[in-house]
Amino acid sequence: MDEKDLKILRLVQNDARLTADAISLDVGLSAPAVQKRLKKLRETGVIEREIAVLSQGKLGRDMTIIVEVILERESRAHLDAFKRKMRQAACVQQCYYTTGEADFMLILTVKDIQEYERFTEENFFDESNISRFKTSVVMDRVKASLDVL
Amino acid sequence: MDEKDLKILRLVQNDARLTADAISLDVGLSAPAVQKRLKKLRETGVIEREIAVLSQGKLGRDMTIIVEVILERESRAHLDAFKRKMRQAACVQQCYYTTGEADFMLILTVKDIQEYERFTEENFFDESNISRFKTSVVMDRVKASLDVL
DNA sequence: CATGAAAAGGCCTGAAG
DNA sequence: CTTCAGGCCTTTTCATG
């Protein structure tokens, strides 16, 4: 992992379709050398995966909601059950288990507020283990980068 | 946008390196037909971009922090200034302007708590427009999907 | 108008220097 | 690491439903 690897990573984390040839010009290596480094970065897990980012708006899911959840009981079994539920729920994009007031922080994308209401009924009200939850509607997605470097 | 397009999108949002040939088997089209659909999906912006997801842990930035920020004054100028700052800050991965108690919700990744402290000093304490902020440290990143479909 | 088959071009992957 | 050759993927072209 030298400076050239970092440069390659900065490029592909913004555009995974760049050809090795294009990268080689920026980095100052031959195209095969770049490919070799990319292969190693994938194998070692530095590059976890390569994905297509879809437009939420064009797919009719342009509403983003943030939810703080506080559980009633924080036993291991209850925590795991809640985590499992969030992983399965399609509209949950991100779920964090946190310190502080809330136990969990969720970021969801939905078509409209009705879809969110349905989500809460299926995931918060049926199960009595939710103490309370606080909903915030996102007015502006100011920044949504995935850049690590 | 028919069912075949949706199937293609579901595949590439998980793995953008799939060949058109591999996709064609799942979708029931020829490889060129898949390529043409992919091209159109890119041109129309349904596929916004294709990126490499890097491992935060392997790059030494495995600490995730969530911050709720409440501003002192909510004038347009102050809002814009804060948004601009967040866009520039490298450790800010996501920034949302929200309804509810907090004005902004941030998700950052840092190397350690010292880096976060530095961030707060540079962005929260120097400027008097921050009323208060609440920090939560992420213990478990339960889910971090980007799947829209 | 979108699909499929075949050919041309470009890109990636190995070996040798 | 680079150069070069081989092979795969992609991208046209063109004919078809």
Q: What is the pLDDT of residue B72?
A: 93
Going along chain B from its start, the domains and CATH numbers come out as 3-43 (1.10.10.10), 57-137 (3.30.70.920)
Residues paired with B144 in a beta bridge: A94
Collect all residues with Cβ–Cβ distance below 8 Å to B25 and sequence separation of at least 6: none
Strand segments, DSSP code E, in A20-90 are 47-54, 63-71
Residue A144 in contact with partner chain B when CB distance is under 8 A: yes
- Which 8-state DSSP code applies to residue A62? -
Measured distance CA(B6)–CA(A58) in Å, rounded: 12
pLDDT tens figures, B54-64: 999 999 999 99
> End-to-end alpha-carbon separation of chain B, Å?
13
Phi-psi map region of B45: left, alpha, beta (phi>0 left; psi -120 to 50 alpha): left
Asked if the Cβ–Cβ distance from B100 to A134 is below 8 Å, we say yes
* A96 burial via Cβ count (<10 Å: 0-12, 13-18, 19+): buried
- CA triplet B118, B119, B120: central angle to 5 degrees? 95
Other C-beta atoms closer than 10 Å to the C-beta of A65 total 23
User: For the whole prediction, is pTM greater than 0.85?
Assistant: yes
B34 CA, C6 C1': separation in Å?
Answer: 17
Q: What is the pLDDT of residue A149?
A: 80
| pLDDT surpasses 90 at A47 | yes
Asked if the Cβ–Cβ distance from A146 to B17 is below 8 Å, we say no
pLDDT tens figures, B10-33: 999 999 999 999 999 999 999 999
Strand D: which bases are under 7 Å from protein Cβ?
1-4, 8-13
Residue A48 in contact with partner chain B when CB distance is under 8 A: yes
- The two tokens of residue A36 are 């070799």
> Is residue B36's beta carbon less than 7 angstroms from any atom in nucleic acid strand C?
yes
A88 CA, D14 C1': separation in Å?
Answer: 47
Asked if the Cβ–Cβ distance from B49 to A52 is below 8 Å, we say yes
Tens-digit pLDDT profile for chain B (149 aa)?
899 999 999 999 999 999 999 999 999 999 999 999 999 999 999 999 999 999 999 999 999 999 999 999 999 999 999 999 999 999 999 999 999 999 999 999 999 999 999 999 999 998 779 999 999 999 999 999 887 88
Q: Write the DSSP assignment of B17-56 as a string of letters.
A: T--HHHHHHHHTS-HHHHHHHHHHHHHTTSEEEEEEEEPT
Shortest distance, CA B107 to any CA of chain A (angstroms): 9
Residue B88 in contact with partner chain A when CB distance is under 8 A: no
B147 CA, C3 C1': separation in Å?
Answer: 29
Q: What is the pLDDT of residue B149?
A: 81
Asked if the Cβ–Cβ distance from B59 to A49 is below 8 Å, we say no
Residue A19 in contact with partner chain B when CB distance is under 8 A: no
Shortest distance, CA A24 to any CA of chain B (angstroms): 17
Asked if the Cβ–Cβ distance from A54 to B61 is below 8 Å, we say no
The protein residue nearest C10 (Cα–C1') is A19
A60 phi/psi in degrees, rounded to 5 = 70, 30
Q: Write the DSSP assignment of A88-114 as a string of letters.
A: H-TTEEEEEEESSS-SEEEEEEESSHH
Closest by CA to B136, choosing from A23, A29, A66, is A66
Closest by CA to A81, choosing from B145, B136, B142, is B142
Q: What is the pLDDT of residue B14?
A: 95
Residue type, A123: N
Measured distance CA(B44)–CA(B51) in Å, rounded: 18
